[in-house]
């Protein structure tokens, strides 16, 4: 099975209790199980991680770059301003799918800009936690095309 890192940025550890009208009631543990199950179905070993720290997230991206691992990334607030994260992501050679639970383009104006999108293979947003399922399917499809 191909290992894929499913990385989550700040405040996503609060899923299920943080703004349920925007992010739903699914917890991070529920999301991790959903990703692992979908990954297994697709022949992917989905490893789900979450951090509130930019440096830790960048370290995980370096790990993915060094291991040539595909990444599904919800950068959360880092989406809009973390050039350090963007520069780390630019080093990836495997697929990178940016994912968001809500649709940033339909929210506050400061959320409309993603510094990550320019280095991502693609972006999936606005489908709730199903955005992760769609992102894993996209990764599996991209990997199949490479073979």
* Catalytic hit among 62, 83, 100, 112: 100
23 is catalytic: yes
130 assigned to a ligand binding site: no
74 assigned to a ligand binding site: yes
17 assigned to a ligand binding site: no
87 assigned to a ligand binding site: yes
**Which residues fall within 8 angstroms of residue 64, CB to CB, at 6 or more apart?**
5, 70, 71, 92, 94
Exposed/middle/buried for residue 28 (C-beta within 10 Å: 0-12, 13-18, 19+): middle
132 is catalytic: no
80 assigned to a ligand binding site: yes
Would you call 80 helix, strand, or coil by DSSP? helix
112 assigned to a ligand binding site: no
Neighbours of 144 (CB within 10 A): 10
If you count them, how many residues does the chain have?
147
Q: List binding-site positions.
A: 74, 80, 87, 101-102, 111
Q: List binding-site positions for substrate.
A: 74, 80, 87, 101-102, 111
Active centre residues (catalytic): 23, 100
């Amino acid at each position: 099975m191909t290992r894929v890192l499913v990385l989550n940025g700040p405040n996503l550890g609060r899923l299920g209790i943080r703004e349920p009208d925007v992010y739903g009631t699914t917890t991070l543990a529920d999301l991790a199980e959903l990703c692992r199950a979908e990954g297994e179905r697709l022949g992917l070993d989905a490893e789900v991680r979450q951090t509130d720290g930019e440096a830790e997230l960048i370290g995980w991206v370096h790990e993915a770059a060094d291991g040539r691992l595909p990444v599904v990334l919800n950068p959360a607030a880092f989406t809009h301003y973390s050039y350090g994260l963007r520069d780390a992501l630019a080093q990836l050679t495997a697929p990178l799918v940016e994912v968001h639970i809500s649709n940033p383009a339909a929210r506050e104006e400061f959320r409309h800009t993603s510094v990550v999108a320019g280095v991502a293979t693609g972006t999936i947003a606005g489908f709730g936690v199903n955005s992760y399922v769609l992102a894993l399917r996209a990764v599996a499809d991209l990997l199949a095309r490479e073979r």
